[in-house]
Amino acid sequence: MKRIGLIINPIAGMGGSVGLKGTDGDIYQKALKMGAIPITPLRINEVLSHIKHKEMILMLVAPGKMGEDVIKGMNIEFEVIGKIGEITTAEDTKRLAKQMLHEDIDLLIFCGGDGTARDIYDAIGLKKPVVAVPGGVKMFSSVFSINSIAAAQIIDGFLEDVIEDEDREVLDIDEKLVRKDMLKSTLYGYLKVLKIRNLVQAGKIGSKFGRTIEENKHEIAQFVIEDMKKNTLYLLGPGTTVKTITNNLGLPKTLLGIDAINNRMIVGKDLNEKSIFELLGEFDDAELIISPIGGQGFIFGRGNKQITPKVIKKIGKKNIRIISTADKMRNLRCLRVDTGDSEFDNELKGLVKVIVGYKEQLVIQIE
Q: Which amino acid is at 232?
A: T
313 conformational bin, left if phi > 0, alpha if psi -120 to 50, beta if neither: alpha
pTM assigned to the model: 0.74
- pLDDT at site 186: 78
The per-residue pLDDT for 197 is 67
* pLDDT number for residue 18: 46
Summarize pLDDT for 148-197 with one digit per residue, the tens.
999 999 999 999 987 888 999 998 776 565 555 555 667 889 999 987 76
Same fold, 2-195 and 211-366: yes
Q: 190 φ, ψ to 5°?
A: -135, 145
pLDDT tens-digit profile of 339-364? 989 999 999 999 999 999 999 999 99
Give me the residue spans of the domains in the chain: 2-195, 211-366
Burial string for 44-70 (b: 16+ CB within 10 Å, else e) reads bbbbbebbeebebbebbbbbbbbbbbb
Domain covering 2-195 in this structure, CATH number = 3.40.50.10330
As a whole number of angstroms, the distance between CA 253 and CA 258 comes to 8
Question: CA triplet 48, 54, 81: central angle to 5 degrees?
Answer: 70
Contact 27, 137 (CB under 8 A): no
CB atoms within 10 A of CB 34: 16
* 42-56 per-position pLDDT tens digit: 999 999 999 999 999
- CATH T-level assignment (fold) for domain 211-366: Rossmann fold (3.40.50)
User: Looking at residues 12-17, what average pLDDT do you find?
Assistant: 62
**Largest separation between any pair of C-alpha atoms in the chain:** 63
